[in-house]
Amino acid sequence: MIDGVAFASCYVYSPAGESGICARSRLLRALLKEGDAHFLFKYAIRVRQQSEPSAVLAGFFLAGDVLVPVPRSAPKVGGTWAAAELAHALVQAGVGGATWPGLIRVSAVSKSATAAKGWRPSVARHYDSFRLESLRLRPRRVVLIDDVITKGRTLLAAAARMREALPDTQIRAFALLRTMGFISDLRDLLEPCRGEIRWLRGDARRIP
C-alpha cells in the first residue's frame, strides 16, 4: 500500500445535520449522483474558479493533467457514472487536459453509502477489485476523479493501483464533495480544501 495521496475537494456534505445548509448539501449530493451534464458543467466552472492563482486550489490542477474517473461499485452496470461525467465536465470547463476511463472494476464491492456500519469495503478490497487497461502513453500527471469522498478508501486504493502501473507518474485525487460525518451543522456548502489521504494503522485516513 502507498503511504498516501494528495487530494482536493470543493464542497461539503452532511448526511445527518438538520440545518437548511445541511439539507442543501444532501440535495447537492443527490444531483451529483444523477450526473446531469448541465449541473456538472456549472460546478466544474466553480472548480476552475477555485483553481485560479489566488484561490485555495491554485496549482492543484495543471493543463496537461489526465483525469481518471474512479469506477462505480460494480462492473458493467447501467445508469449514470457520475465520476466519469464529472471528469468530462471538468475538461470542458478547462480543468485538466483529457480524460481516460482506463481504471476499471473487475469485481463488485458494496456501496459505502448503503453498506452496514463496519461492513464497508476495505482499502484492500477496493484495490483487489481494480484493474488498469493497457496504456499507450505514460502521462506525467494523473488526477483521480470521484464524486464524493468519505474516509478515502476508494481513492487510496485507486491511487495504489495506478502507482503500481505508473511508478513515475504524479498521482493526485479530487472529489467534488466530501462527507463531514461528525459535524452536525455546516457554515457553507462551498469549502474548498487541500489535504491528504493517508495509510495509517491499516486503514485510510482523510486529512482534513
- Per-residue model confidence as pLDDT tens digits over 80-132: 999 999 999 999 999 999 999 999 999 999 987 655 556 789 999 999 999 99
Percent of residues, the chain, with pLDDT higher than 90: 87
Q: Is residue 208 reached through a cis peptide bond, with omega within 30 degrees of 0 on the bond before it?
A: yes
Residue 12, strand partner residues = 178
Q: Give the β-pairing of 190-200 and 203-207.
A: antiparallel
pLDDT band at 79 (very low <50, low <70, confident <90, very high): confident
Q: pTM to 2 decimals? A: 0.95
pLDDT at residue 136, rounded to an integer: 83
Q: How far apart are CA 147 and CA 84, in angstroms?
A: 9
Q: Which residues, including other chains, have CB under 8 Å from residue 187's CB and lie 6 or more apart? A: 21
Q: Which fold has domain 4-207?
A: Rossmann fold (3.40.50)
Lowest mean pLDDT among 61-65, 146-150, 181-185: 181-185
User: Per the structure block, which three cell numbers stand in for 105?
Assistant: 472494476
Q: What is the pLDDT of residues 161-201, one digit of tens each?
A: 999 999 999 999 999 999 998 788 999 999 999 999 999 99
